[in-house]
Amino acid sequence: MTLDPQAKWVLDIAKEKALPTLDQLSPEAAKADYSERATTLTFKDVEIGETFDLNIPGPLGDIPIRIYHPVGMKESLPVLVYYHGGGWVVGNIDTHDALCRTIANKGPFVVVSVDYRMGPEAPFPAAVIDSVAALNWTSENIADYKGDQEQIAVGGDSAGGNLSTVVCLNALKEKSFLPKFQWLIYPATNMSMETASHKSFAEGYFLTNTLMVYFQKNYLVDFDDLSDWRASPLCADSLAGLPPALIQTAGFDPLKDEGMAYAARMNAEGSRAKHTDYGGMIHGFINLGGVLDQATIAIDEGIAELKSALEV
């Protein structure tokens, strides 16, 4: 397995600039720094038909969301509820705006991007509570924004991939609205960080072991949270009955093995999961579409799977 030259360039540029890693900053500074960095290498100047910034009600208070209508939208469309990545500590609607615009246009879909609460100000399980509330609001209200209430999927990258499958597990538990599909992009599924990929890629590939520990310390409350299925969905008693999933992993990503394990366990327990590994890629590559060709390929794969599941 060889690191993709474009991914290597991204890592080399970061090294040359000698920027402080997020774990060297306070959470407040890390949030601001990531917000600036995340938009540097993503898609640029992506047109969109229309956007709606709303505050929807949730158990913990209002939740900001952004609804995207693709260019040329004329009729009701299937819906993707998207949860951004960022270790449950950094990231927001704006850091993933270009990605959500791209997904909306390529579908075409109505995309609902969720700005869930994060640590350390709002620790676990606040992100889960907001994510569940946003999904349920979408199922009940998206028709008002030309979304098809019968054709709703969830998706997200990293922490957002984690939240995407956690809201599905919660729906099974609560017998509430269950999405038709899950698009899980290098999802975090086990907080224990004990896999071979965690050891092999602990340093040098953006998402370091130190940074993951930093995220956990600013998201989780105590040791028992590590094995709570709402934080570590791989610890759930059962994965049976989950919606079909596309699980995408990156070859040089500490989270690779737990993503593969989640796909394997879904299939073993009767839920259908397709796993695709982007062997030369690093964690976070889906949001680096301005410089990484593999980001577009991965997005196109996700779009194709969504269209099949949502009967587009």
Catalytic-residue membership of 283:
yes
Catalytic-residue membership of 238:
no
DSSP letter (8 states) at residue 21: P
Q: Among all chains, which residue has been given the structure tokens 């350390």?
A: 120
Tokens at residue 302, please? Answer: 């996700």
Query: Taking the chain, what is the end-to-end CA distance rounded to the nearest angstrom?
Result: 36
> One of 164, 253, 257, 275 is an active-site residue; which one?
253
C-alpha dihedral over 233, 238, 242, 244, to 10 degrees?
80
Q: Is the peptide bond before 108 cis (omega within 30 degrees of 0)?
A: yes
The SS3 call for residue 311 is coil
> One of 96, 198, 275, 283 is an active-site residue; which one?
283
> One of 158, 164, 197, 271 is an active-site residue; which one?
158
d(CA 261, CA 266): 8
Strand partners, 68: 51, 111
The SS3 call for residue 283 is coil
The SS3 call for residue 65 is strand
- Report which of 165, 127, 176, 149 is spatially closest to residue 242, judged by C-alpha positions: 165
d(CA 52, CA 174): 29
Q: Would you name the residues annotated as active-site residues?
A: 158, 253, 283
